[in-house]
Amino acid sequence: MEIKIQKRKLGNSNLEVSAIGLGCMGMSFGYGTIADEKEMISLIRSAVESGVTFFDTAEVYGPYINEELVGKALEPFKGKVVIATKFGFNFQDGINTGLNSRPEHIKKVAEESLKRLRIDAIDLFYQHRVDPNVPIEDVAGAVKDLIQEGKVKHFGLSEAGVQIIRRAHAVQPVTALQSEYSLWWREPEEEIIPTLEELGIGFVPFSPLGKGFLTGKMDQNTTFDSKDFRSTVPRLSPENLKANMAFVDLVAAVAQRKNVTPAQIALAWILAQKPWFVPIPGTTKLHRLNENLGAAAVELTPDELLEINTASSKIVAQGDRYSGGSAKMINR
């Protein structure tokens, strides 16, 4: 089946990307295993062949090895794809020692990322997490310098709050905000999304499938490898998984009627919210990539959207989305 993925523009910028991107983190980081490099290069290239033009990585994934993988995989498609990467951490001997968004550090990271990604300019450069020790104006100013030097094309923020977004945007227009958003994490709807709409900033939801939960492939007996970050996510503990199954039942019921998969409904729901939302589900499996991309062809009617919104707003998600240590990294 030929998948034709429409393009979307991220906010008021001229940055045009496929309506669904590919989050590459899990290929090298986060899930306790590092996938086979040859297989992942092949997967990334299959995504390009299917019309994906938006790829998400970060120096912290590994560290470094995910950017190297993405760089190698996408080298033949230079100029035809958009690569987003992120700065904002310090490393010592390959260990993440905490936040660092000092301007001179941002500039150093940009040089290193360019080499690893084998590109001349970073298409979208996100601050990975807000650094409370560095005024956001200084961060935006550093990226503005990089844009003027031609090393970066667009500035992004990740998991930033409304005031930070406004202050950054006043110094250097923000092209996109990346934050967690899905049917079972709708907190950005309160303040973040209206602010993005007002300022003309695109929205890139990560974990659009609830870290895999909304695919319907987990239940209260699901266990995660101790090195898999999901083993520390309170929302995915056995007792919370059981309570949260109502979300899965909801997408599964709609999916069954439309003869598609729960994951496709969860992604189609995001795509239907606003034309400037571009989710970036991650996967290491070709059949899952194809399934995710198939969501771009799923049309939800106004009635179906109303049904999903009404039903999901009555379900209260049990458990925090991050454990204490990770939660502290989100400084809104």
User: Could you list the active site residues?
Assistant: 61
Integer Cα distance of 245 and 64 in angstroms: 36
Q: Report the alpha-carbon distance of residue 132 to residue 55 in Å, rounded.
A: 28
98 vs 221: CA distance, rounded Å:
34
DSSP β-bridge partners for residue 156: 126, 176
Considering only CA atoms, which of 146, 144, 186, 137 is closest in space to residue 166? 137
CA distance 312 to 273: 14
CA–CA dist 126, 71 (Å, integer): 17
- State how far the alpha carbon of 284 is from the alpha carbons of 22, 41, 73, in Å: 10, 10, 14
CA atoms within 13 Å, Cβ hemisphere of 224: 24
Q: Are 320 and 234 in contact (CB under 8 A)?
A: yes
Q: Helix, strand, coil % (nearest 5) of the chain?
A: 45, 15, 40
